[in-house]
């Protein structure tokens, strides 16, 4: 199964039981499996933002909304704490870049990498993310406007889009993803065993369908995985067309 990196999409091969109108399983590559595993590392704040508050089940979205509406005067550090709570960093997927706390949002927050500044006299080790903040040194009081480099160590799970390395699983084999997102290595014996497990009596009712999977489908899959045990059927069977 080849990926389509130019459009940030991957190709999935579905095996569908047309008699029950359900996806039995999908044949997937490393890229898709890494994306699924990355979902487990998403901060709850990122999940709420991706799904939007109006489509969340339960009341956790109300807690998120409370933080949005709470006046800055009640936070110890309004700039930092609201950023951490409302826009936590999301892990990097192997083919889909999920929004992080540095992404621009409808709230009008600044985007781009974090910038830090220090006093031009370097009279202390203090830094700030607000340019021209007055130096806390009582003998200095200059504007902290000298930008310093902010270094973030690259985690083992992060990958480059061009190299295709990193992630969680090896790319030397294909994988089977069940309708309920159970993942296992792809094999002919496993496929035959699954047909028996799913009580498939008419092999002629089985249909192969090739689909593309991108960011829009990824967000739908995230939402469906929280409320359904038939995720692939819900997201892929009726909403995606055959690739050319």
Is 142 part of a structural domain of the chain?
A: no
Say if 80 falls within a structural domain.
no
User: Domain range holding 209?
Assistant: 3-42+90-105+158-237
Residue 231 belongs to some domain of the structure: yes
Per-residue pLDDT at 48 exceeds 60: yes
Q: Determine, yes or no, domain membership for 141.
A: no
Q: 145 in a domain, yes or no?
A: no
For residue 53, is it within any domain? Answer: no
In total, how many domains does the chain have? 1
181: left (phi over 0), alpha (psi -120 to 50) or beta: left
Q: Is residue 120 part of a domain?
A: no
pLDDT, one tens digit per residue, over 76-97 is 887 777 778 887 776 655 566 5
Report whether pLDDT(52) > 50.
yes
pLDDT of 134 over the 70 cut: yes
- Read off the pLDDT band of 244 (50, 70, 90): very low
Average pLDDT over residues 158-162: 42
pLDDT in tens, 187-241: 888 888 888 888 888 889 999 999 999 988 998 999 899 889 999 999 998 665 4
Q: Residue 176: is its pLDDT beyond 80? A: yes
The answer to whether the pTM exceeds 0.75 is no
> What local confidence, expressed as pLDDT, does residue 1 receive?
44
7 within 8 A of 214, measured Cβ to Cβ:
yes
Instruction: Evaluate whether residue 188 is within a structural domain.
Output: yes
pLDDT at 37: 87
């Amino acid at each position: 199964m080849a990926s389509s990196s130019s459009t940030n999409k991957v190709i999935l091969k579905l095996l569908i039981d047309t008699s029950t109108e359900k996806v039995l399983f999908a044949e997937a590559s490393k890229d898709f499996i890494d994306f699924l595993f990355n979902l487990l590392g998403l901060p709850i704040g990122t999940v709420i933002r991706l799904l939007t508050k109006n489509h969340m089940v339960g009341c956790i979205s109300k807690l998120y909304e409370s933080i949005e509406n709470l006046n800055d005067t009640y936070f110890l550090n309004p700039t930092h704490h609201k950023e951490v709570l409302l826009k936590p960093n999301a892990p990097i997927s192997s083919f889909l870049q999920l929004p992080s706390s540095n992404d621009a949002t409808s709230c009008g927050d600044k985007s781009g990498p974090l910038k830090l500044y220090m006093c031009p006299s370097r009279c202390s080790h203090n830094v700030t993310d607000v340019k021209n903040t007055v130096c806390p040194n009582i003998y200095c009081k200059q504007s902290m406007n000298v930008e310093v480099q902010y270094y973030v160590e690259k985690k083992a799970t992060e990958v480059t889009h061009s190299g295709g390395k990193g992630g969680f699983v090896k790319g030397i084999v294909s994988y089977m993803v069940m309708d309920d997102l159970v993942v296992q290595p792809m094999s002919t014996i496993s496929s035959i065993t699954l047909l028996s497990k799913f009580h498939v009596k008419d092999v002629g009712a089985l249909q192969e369908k090739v689909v593309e999977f991108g960011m829009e489908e990824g967000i739908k899959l995230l939402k469906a995985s929280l409320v359904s045990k038939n995720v692939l059927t819900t997201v892929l069977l009726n909403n995606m067309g055959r690739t050319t």
